[in-house]
Amino acid sequence: MYIVTGGAGFIGSAVVWRLNQMGVTNIVVVDNLAESEKWKNLVNRRYEDYVHRDAFIKMVRSGVLPWSVKAIVHMGACSSTTERNADFLMENNFHYSRDLCLYALSKGIRFINASSGATYGDGRLGFSDSLETMAKLAPLNMYGYSKLLFDRWAQRAGVLDKIASLRFFNVYGPNEYHKGDMKSVICKAFEQIKEFGCIRLFASDRPEYPDGGQMRDFVYVKDCVAVQAWLLEHPDVNGIFNVGSGKARTWNDLANAVFSALGKEPDIRYVEMPSYLKGKYQYFTQADISRLSGCGYPINKFHSLEDGVQDYVCRYLAQSDQYL
């Protein structure tokens, strides 16, 4: 059995999609559906069972799961970069992940964890996934800190050579529709163009960056789950890995790619950055993916921004069935 936590969420449901593409249906989805729209991410998917996240962690902490488990792909977490409840993030993102990892290791189960590019903070130390920078990283928000705590714990506990922890950068793609304000700018841009004919981006409040010139490493969700599928097939490859395209692009590039996919002329307008984001906003991110490449992953298969946006917009956002 494969267990995918956060399996109804954005990246988690894409993991289930990828497993289905590989012919795997013996999957347990762990999540917290509640009154959200995440259930729609599972309609097209095949899996054996669904378990609420709270019931699942109780099983884990009791030391007994009712399945023979081959791998745990732990994508479940609070992914809101603006979440301010630090106690909730400590319990949900750090303690939950730590205890699940310890269980997997005790049973010889392959464990893949979702970390984040938010661990790098403002980027002043670069974006290398080497262990030398771990102690010096200073995330800009509590979400990034909660992810960094797990990576630091795994290093101290001496288990990084037995698990894979993936620092995802700016992920976009189908099945993110339930995420509200945390949806990718591509998804928001498509909606804005449909309603208003234009895209609104944050103006820059730093002189070295023009408006819309802030740069991020945008990575297509299909590439993220391809990496995870490869890691499932290569259980000897372990450690912390950046998962990004390896190439920073501007928000203007992204906006132009959406307009191009729709066959429309660009109309980009800039709005002031909210005060709550000032000082906590990453102006530049670019994943160093040399370690992933050095372990044998074919990074040349990553989508370019233009190709990824074209696929997302034309095959999903513009269709009646938008889901993987």
Catalytic residues: 143, 179
**DSSP strands (E only) in the chain:** 2-5, 27-31, 49-52, 71-74, 110-116, 164-168, 170-172, 199-202, 215-216, 218-220, 239-243, 249-250, 268-271
Q: Where are the alpha helices (DSSP H) in 22-73?
A: 53-62
Contacts of 208 (CB under 8 A, 6+ apart): none
- Among 130, 165, 182, CA closest to 243: 165
Cβ 286 vs Cβ 248: under 8 Å: yes
**How far apart (Å, rounded) are the C-alpha atoms in residues 292 and 300?**
12
**How far apart (Å, rounded) are the C-alpha atoms in residues 80 and 77?**
9
**How far apart (Å, rounded) are the C-alpha atoms in residues 173 and 152?**
29
**How far apart (Å, rounded) are the C-alpha atoms in residues 126 and 119?**
11
Using CB atoms within 10 Å of the CB of residue 128, give its burial: 0 to 12 exposed, 13 to 18 middle, 19+ buried. middle
DSSP secondary structure letter of residue 66: S
**How far apart (Å, rounded) are the C-alpha atoms in residues 18 and 223?**
10
- Among 202, 226, 201, CA closest to 292: 226
* SS3 label, residue 303: coil
Cβ 258 vs Cβ 186: under 8 Å: yes
